[in-house]
Amino acid sequence: MTSSSHKVPSTTAGSEVAHLAKFRTLLEPHVDGFSYFTDTALPRALEDIGRFTFQVGGNAPNASEATKNLPTRTIECWYTEPTWIKPTSGREGRPFLPKHARELGESYNAELKLTFNYSIDGGPAGTFQRRQGPFPVMLGSSLCHTYGLESDALVKMGEEATEFGGPFIISGIERCIRLLQVPRCNVALAIKRPTYKSRGSSYSEYGVAYRSRRWNDDCSTITNTFHWLTSGSMKVRFSVRKQEFLVPAVILLRACGVQGDNEIFSRLTSQAGAKDSWVLERVRLLLHDAKQHGIYTSQEALAYIGARFRAVLGRGNERNDVQCGQEVLDKFVIIDQRSLEDKANTMLMCMRKLLSFVGGRCGADNADSLQNLELLLPGHLIATFVKEKIEEQLTSMRKGVSKEIRTRGAKALSELGEPAFWGKICDRYGGGAAGNIGKKVAHFLSTGNIVSSSGLDLMQVSGYTIVAERLNFLRYISHYRSVHRGQFFMTMKTTAVRKLLPDSWGFLCPVHTPDGGPCGLLNHLAVKCETQTRSMDMAKRDRVLETLLELGVTALEPGTTMPAKYLDVVLDGRVIGGATINECNEIVKEMRRLKVIGGIEKTTEVALFPPIQMGPFPGLFVGTGMCRFIRPVQHRDTGMVEYLGPMEQPFLSIACMPEDIREETTHVELDPNNLFSLIASCTPFSDYNQSPRNMYQCQMGKQTMGSPAHSLPHRTDNKLYRIQNPQAPLVQTARHGEFKMDDYPNGTNAVVAVLSYTGFDMEDAMILNKSSYERGFGHASVYKTKIVDLKEEAERMGSKEARLRFSNQKLAPPRPNRDGTPGETVIDGSLGPDGLPHVGQWVEEGDALYSYVDELTGKEKVGRHKEMEKACVQNVRLLGAERGFTKGGKAKKEALQRLSVTLRIPRNPVIGDKFSSRHGQKGVMSILWPQADMPFSESGISPDCIINPHAFPSRMTIGMLIESMAGKAGALHGKFQDATPFSYHESKGQLAIDQFGEQLQEAGYSYYGSEPLYSGVTGQVMHADLYIGVVFYQRLRHMVSDKAQVRATGAVNQLTRQPIKGRKKGGGIRLGEMERDALLSHGSAYLLHDRLMACSDTHVAHVCKRCGGVLSSQTRRQEVLSAGVGVENMRLKWICTSKQCEGKPDEIVPIRQPYVFKYLANELAGMGIKMQCKVSA
Amino acid sequence: MDNAMQVDNTASLAATSTAINPLKSREKGFCEYRCGDCGHINSLKLQDAIRCRQCGFRVLYKIRTNRMVQFEAR
């Protein structure tokens, strides 16, 4: 056998610890993002919200008549010290584990407490702790009991051995927040958008958008957009509480301390040079335009802004206009910079960019390119949400205090210093005794709708969360690696956003995106793509700044300007200085070296945009912030790993394979497979397939019935699919082994023959060997868990008390049987005495699942199995209530109210069930063919399944053909085969086909994997060599038993009497216009009549021949025309009640027509139109 | 389906109680459940609060039936 350099994948996996760490890295954006919220973002947010200062009493702005004469008191209140208590249950304080939440159908909550502080007239602060309610916790985060645990400890907790966290458990259901692509922070984007014109007259379509993240990294952001006006001025747009405001840029500059016309002029034009008369002229216009406001100094500008925003900020008279103006600058303008000088510098940079953009010196940035995008992480989203809620709480409490004072006057004023007063304020105005922030977060998580007063700088209000379905492991993990572009883009008609751009190489998987609606909008992160959950700490950031200055960046001193031809050097949106392009090239080179050898943090992004006509705005942009994508590549000079970001990548030369290296190449990919997502890189030989087929496999891999979890007894998912006899694929990729995907196998290795044998394999159907089926091929079951809540049932019956309880004993004495024997006292014989089903019992449609009695009425009720399929009772869980306490402090005794039943429904393959290989080759099973009649090979092998050769030519899934050979060779030699993409190549001297061909030959088989087969029916050899090998087959979850829909008669719509739709309700399938046309074209009128009339809403209407009225005919009860016969044969007298027919002899005839016709007549009559039917003969 | 399911009522009652002391359990209306956390076997009356006697956990599992369950060997 040829010695192969390829490793045997299934055994490559490392230790359990390293394995778990791998998954934890994949999940970092979720899990560590949430930890960041709890340990860093929340304390910073509290600090940032700061103290709420306001006045009550006499001089207060909203003082009433009653309080006018009272003394004025200044009150400060604020929150500090968030403390968390890990999820605990009951009073005993035992840890409440995720398993418990799942099984109980409850939420996995921690306790959040904030310290409330208040101080009156600057006196000593009074404090007390306030609960902020049960707060949903992300699994695996630092607040979760599974945090940092190793596999065996996790298994003991009833979790998976590879439980990496990520979801929240809300009412027993695992939900996760989607990663969202949002514009990159602290980067100015030149955008040309026609809608900008609609902002007002003389607004142009040019703008520079600057999304700014707060300097303290509490995750809140604000977008400032610089608009270009045709009049020559610039305005800055930002929104305050969902209201948009446009402020002249020059006023903001002046407010930031750039006061004089000369200073503004020189700082805007310095880099353009004195020759660029276009720019000089525009800046002159800008300053001229700003004259109209008559504002020249910083103080004037601040007062101007403050006076206008005072009401919006909700400020009383405790601050003057200048202070209000400062607050506006602090909270809404370039919030990533703290000092006014830096704010001004960044604003000036944006304005220079806008000028150069409008003047055609630089081109527009692509807002859809990954270069200008970052991720909105779940934890960060929650952080901004919670910050706003806390602010709202304080605002509402401030209003509450004022109201108390206004209404209760001096008495309330005297209570100000007492904790009891503040406790009451908190309870009454701060969201109740239990607090409400946790509740609001839970609401957000369970619905995905974000309720916000400021909009939180987000593009959508709903669709943030999804259920993390555990259909199989692939689907589960891909929830956490998926990245959505945003709901807004789903509705957009243009397809530009969906385009696969080269910028996303190595960051987003080009293969793993669904087709159809979300195509290109829902992407998946490449395996090695990471996201920064935290910004660099200050020391490291300062190190980057120092390094830049040491390397020759000319620092920007306050009030100075940069010489012409100097490029801006920008560190996270802050303009730190400038350097010439040659200097910049040297700096970048040295920065990269330092990045790799550890002089500065390795995640620093160093993007140099060289000056190119119509290219991006030039400059050296250094990024250290959070939420950025990064990925590892090899740095060629040092041979070490460097992390690259999407902003620097387009300007680097990265060789994909070592043979692609050219002179200018600076980086080499570590592995070409790093381009793929985890799921895409599990497709074997995907480099041999036509690319859409690989996309289909990514979808189908996620719809496979596989192994969803190992902690099955503890799982309570609504629906869980489980395959009975899974196998590790014989042919697998390196990544499959790396991530131990064999722990969660998804299918079976099947002997597949490609031939047209019976005609049952037409059109992608496949024939299954009946004996294979009987041996267990494709066998699977569905687990369904149902929760029965008697408390809810009782509430539905309108009573608050728990009057229902599970029991199998009738309350009322049973009636004796007819023969006098005593009646049955048991409600249902098949249930246990507790009214619950026996574990292991089989139930069919209509069988009892549980029974309960009503203590109020003494009646009993039986809950039944409503599905058509037979099921086995797998588990019966009795869920106790969180024990309430009576007034005496004794535990309340409460009978069982909640029940959770898990049913197992066997779903072995039936005709019509869907199967697929791993190459986007799906098909339905069309028949179970007896093994005796299947073809067989010379060695006596008969295939498990037969597929049609027509499946290949147009689809070009060569990968499947190779897998077939490789699988066969692997089975013969007893080893797993390596199917990593890009690992076989001519240049490496080994073609995949040759390698497996040689292996096959060695085992005594034909080189290319084809064999003569014998007909199973006649025993004669067939006149062709037939392709037969081993392919890994997946069983998909789409099964006929979930889809079969048939009816003759059944439920109808009340109004139209036409069949209702919906499979669940036993409805019909619409025979629409197009189907009607087809039938008409075939002349099958009788069939049409049958479908559209007889099987639909056929009706005998009584129509008056004289007036043509459909509605005016009535029967008259008194005048029976026949007597002594049954209702069916009874003839009634019909009369017409219309005006024109009154008193005339009746001429009513029965006519068969659709019932909707009568409805139409009614509707028309409602509009005053009479419909007349002309009845002849 | 199987007649095994439709066994008469008295037999079913006897079979569901555990093997430990079936007579006593039946007489007093006790049912036995296994705690979902510590595995302790609790025997509870119908009206008892659902809570493990040993560890206080609130999920109790019904113990698998001793009755014959017939599988269709098809």
For A988, half-sphere exposure in the C-beta direction (CA atoms, 13 angstrom radius) is: 14
Global pTM reads 0.88
Among A805, A878, A883, whose Cβ lies nearest the Cβ of B60? A878
d(CA A739, CA A882): 40
3-state percent helix, strand, coil for chain A, nearest multiple of 5: 30, 25, 40
Please tell me whether residue A860 adopts helix, strand or coil conformation.
strand
**pLDDT value for A1120:** 62
Mean pLDDT of A784-792: 91
Tokens of A759: 């005609």
Q: Pairing state of beta strands A567-571 and A619-623? A: parallel
pLDDT at residue A1158 in the model: 92
Confidence of residue A415 (pLDDT cuts 50, 70, 90): confident
Between helices A298-313 and A321-332, what is the axis angle to 10°?
A: 80
**Phi, psi angles (nearest 5°) of residue A882:** -60, 120
Task: Name chain B contacts of A104, Cβ cutoff 8 Å.
Answer: 58-59
Q: Is A1017 helix (H, G, I), strand (E, B) or coil?
A: coil
pLDDT in tens, B39-49: 888 888 877 88
- All structural domains of chain B, each given as residue ranges with its CATH number in brackets, are 3-62 (2.20.28.30)
For the stretch A533-570, pLDDT in tens is 998 888 999 999 999 999 989 888 887 788 888 899 99
pLDDT at B14: 39
Angle at A238 between CA A235 and CA A241, to 5 degrees: 145
* B contact test, residue of A712, A789, A838 with most B CBs within 10 A: A838
Average pLDDT estimate for A1149-1161? 91
Question: Given this model, what pLDDT does residue A582 score?
Answer: 92
Residue A312 pLDDT: 87
Q: Report the residue from A838, A877, A895 with minimal CB separation from B46.
A: A895
B48, B49, B59: residue with CB nearest A103: B59
**The Cα angle at residue A90 between residues A86 and A96, in degrees rounded to 5:** 40
Is A875 in the B-facing interface, judged by CB distances under 8 Å? yes
What's the ipTM? Answer: 0.79
A844–B1 C-beta distance less than 8 A? yes
Rounded CA separation A382/A42 (Å): 10
Find chain B residues with C-beta within 8 A of A103's C-beta. 36, 59
For A1050-1095, give the secondary structure using H, E and C: CCECCCCCCECECCCCCCECCCCHHHHHHHHHCCCHHHHHHHHHHH
Coil, strand or helix: which one is A795? helix
Is residue A1068 within 8 Å of A1047, Cβ to Cβ?
yes
What does A961-1009 look like in DSSP terms, one character per residue? HHHHHHHHHHHHHT--EE--TT--BGGGTB-HHHHHHHHHHHTTS-TTS
Could you give all domains of chain A from N- to C-terminal order, each with its CATH number? 22-181+377-485 (3.90.1100), 185-376 (3.90.1110.10), 530-675 (3.90.1070.20), 702-779+911-1035 (2.40.270.10), 788-882+893-906 (2.40.50.150), 1073-1166 (3.90.1800.10)
Q: Which residue has the higher pLDDT, A122 or A326?
A: A326
Interior/surface letters A1056-1067, b for 16+ CB within 10 angstroms, e for the rest: bbbbeeeeeeeb
3-state secondary structure of A321: helix
Check if the beta carbon of residue A139 is closer than 8 Å to that of residue A168: yes
State how far the Cα of A574 lies from the Cα of A1003, in Å rounded to an integer: 68
Return the bridge partners of A213, or none. A221
Report the residue from B1, B50, B59 with minimal CB separation from A842: B1
Q: How many CB pairs under 8 A join A and B?
A: 110
Cα separation, A174 vs A540, in Å, equals 37
Please name the residue of chain B whose CA is at the shortest distance from the CA of residue A902.
B61
Does residue A492 register a pLDDT over 70?
A: yes
Query: B48–A893: do the CB atoms touch at under 8 Å?
Result: yes
Contact yes or no for A684/A959 (Cβ under 8 A): yes
When the pLDDT of each residue in chain A is averaged and rounded to a whole number, the result is: 89
3-state helix, strand and coil shares in percent for chain B, rounded to the nearest 5: 25, 20, 55
> Cα distance from A830 to chain B (closest Cα, Å)?
7
Scanning B36-65 for CB atoms below 8 A from A yields 36-37, 46-51, 55-65
SS (H, E, C) A908-947: CCCCCCEEECCCCCEEEEEEEECHHHCCEECCCCCCCEEE
**pLDDT value at residue A1129:** 63
Q: Which residues from chain A sit within 8 angstroms of residue B6, using beta carbons?
A: 829-830
Q: What is the Cα–Cα distance from A261 to A281, expressed in whole angstroms?
A: 14
C-alpha dihedral over A702, A703, A709, A712, to 10 degrees? 160
Mutate to test the interface with B, among A156, A834, A875 (most CBs of B within 10 A): A834
Report B:8-37 residues touching A (Cβ under 8 A): 8-9, 12-13, 16, 26, 29, 31, 33, 36-37
**What is the DSSP-derived secondary structure letter of residue A43?**
H
> Is the pLDDT confidence value at A1110 over 90?
no
Q: Could you write out the DSSP letters of every residue in A685-724?
A: TGGGB-HHHHHHHHHHHTTB-----S-GGG---SEEEEES
Please enumerate in sequence order all residues whose Cβ is within 8 A of that of A148, keeping only pairs 6 or more positions apart, or say none.
none
- H or E element that contains A607: strand A605-609
Q: Can you say whether the dihedral through the CA atoms of B51, B53, B57, B63 is positive or negative?
A: negative
What are the structure tokens assigned to A626, written together? 């959070």
Decide if pLDDT at A678 tops 80.
Answer: yes
* Spatial separation of the C-alpha atoms in residues A106 and A95, rounded to whole Å: 14
Q: Which residues of A touch B69 (CB under 8 A)?
A: 840-842
Q: Per residue in A278-320, pLDDT tens?
A: 888 999 999 998 888 889 999 999 999 999 998 888 777 778 8
pLDDT tens-digit map of A106-143: 999 999 999 989 888 888 888 888 888 889 999 999 99
CA distance A836 to chain B (A): 9
Residue A433: the pLDDT is 57
A891 with B49: Cβ contact below 8 A: yes
Report the alpha-carbon distance of residue A482 to residue A973 in Å, rounded: 39
Distance CA A794, CA A803 (A): 7
> Which pLDDT does position A61 carry in this prediction?
67
Which of A103, A806, A883 is the closest to B51 by Cβ?
A883
A829/B12 Cβ within 8 A: yes
Cβ atoms of A845 and A683 closer than 8 Å: no
The residue written with tokens 């046309």 in the block is A1077
Cβ-nearest to B65 among A839, A878, A880 = A839
Sheet containing A73-85, strands listed edge to edge, beginning at the edge strand earlier in sequence: A52-56, A73-85, A109-120, A126-136
Contacts of residue A534, Cβ cutoff 8 Å, sequence gap at least 6: A32, A36, A40, A217, A626
**What is the rounded average pLDDT of the residues A506-531?**
93
Residue A314 sits at the chain B interface (C-beta within 8 Å): no
Q: Could you give the 3-state DSSP secondary structure of residue A734?
A: helix
User: Which residues of chain A make contact with B65, given a CB cutoff of 8 A?
Assistant: 832, 838-841
Distance from CA of B46 to the nearest CA of A (A): 6
pLDDT at A818: 82
Q: Do A836 and B67 touch (CB under 8 A)?
A: no
What percentage of chain A has pLDDT greater than the value 90? 58
**pLDDT, position A53:** 84
Question: Which stretch of A910-914, A1050-1054, A1135-1139 has the lowest confidence by average pLDDT?
Answer: A1135-1139
Q: Give the per-residue pLDDT at B15.
A: 40
Neighbours of A171 (CB within 10 A): 13
Q: Is the pLDDT of residue A1087 over 60?
A: yes
Tally of CB atoms within 10 A around A517: 8
Kindly tell me the number of DSSP H helices and DSSP E strands found in chain B.
2, 3
Contact residues, chain A, for B36 at CB < 8 Å? 103, 714, 877
Q: Report the distance separating Cα A619 and Cα A43, nearest Å.
A: 35
What confidence tens digit (pLDDT) does each residue in A875-933 have? Answer: 999 998 876 544 444 555 678 889 999 999 999 999 999 999 999 999 999 999 999 99
Tokens read off for A864 = 């039944």
Note whether B6 contacts A830, CB cutoff 8 Å. yes
Contact A509, A676 (CB under 8 A): yes
Q: Flag the least confident range among A468-472, A561-565, A753-757, A939-943.
A: A561-565
Q: What is the pLDDT of residues A184-243, one digit of tens each?
A: 999 999 999 999 999 888 999 999 999 999 999 999 999 999 999 998 899 999 999 889
Tens-place pLDDT, residues A596-607: 998 899 999 999
Judged by DSSP in three states, A891 sits in strand
Q: What is the per-residue DSSP string for A350-383?
A: HHHHHHHHHTTSS----TTSGGGEEEE-HHHHHH
Among A265-274, A471-480, A966-975, name the one with the lowest average pLDDT. Answer: A265-274
Number of residues that make up chain B: 74
Contacts of A47 (CB under 8 A, 6+ apart): A216
- Give the separation between CA A511 and CA A877, rounded to whole angstroms: 43
Contact: A880, B51; criterion CB under 8 Å: yes
Structural tokens at position A1067? 């409805």
Q: How far apart are CA A138 and CA A622, in angstroms?
A: 32
Polymer length of chain A: 1177
How far is A1017 from A1013, CA to CA, in rounded Å? 12
Collect all residues of chain B within an 8 Å Cβ-Cβ radius of residue A90.
56
Is the predicted pLDDT of residue A757 greater than 70, yes or no? yes
**With a CB-CB cutoff of 8 Å, which residues 104-163 of chain A face chain B?**
104
Question: Strands across the sheet with A203-213, in order?
Answer: A187-192, A203-213, A221-229, A234-240, A243-248
Q: Which residues contact A381 (CB under 8 A, 6 or more apart)?
A: A177, A180, A219, A450, A456, A464
pLDDT at position B50: 85
Q: Helices A261-269 and A340-358 sit at what angle, rounded to 10 degrees?
A: 60
Interface test with B, best of A804, A842, A869, A899 (most B CBs within 10 A): A842
Q: Taking 60 as the threshold, does the pLDDT of residue A339 lie above it? A: yes
SS3 A498: helix
Read off the tokens for A816.
């004796």
| pLDDT of residue A10 exceeding 70 | no
Q: CA end-to-end span of chain B, whole Å?
A: 13
Name which of B50, B52, B54 to mutate to probe chain A: the one with the most chain A Cβ atoms within 10 A of its Cβ.
B50
Classify A247 as helix, strand or coil: strand
Please give the pLDDT value at position B10: 39
The Cα of A177 is separated from the nearest Cα of chain B by a number of Å equal to 28
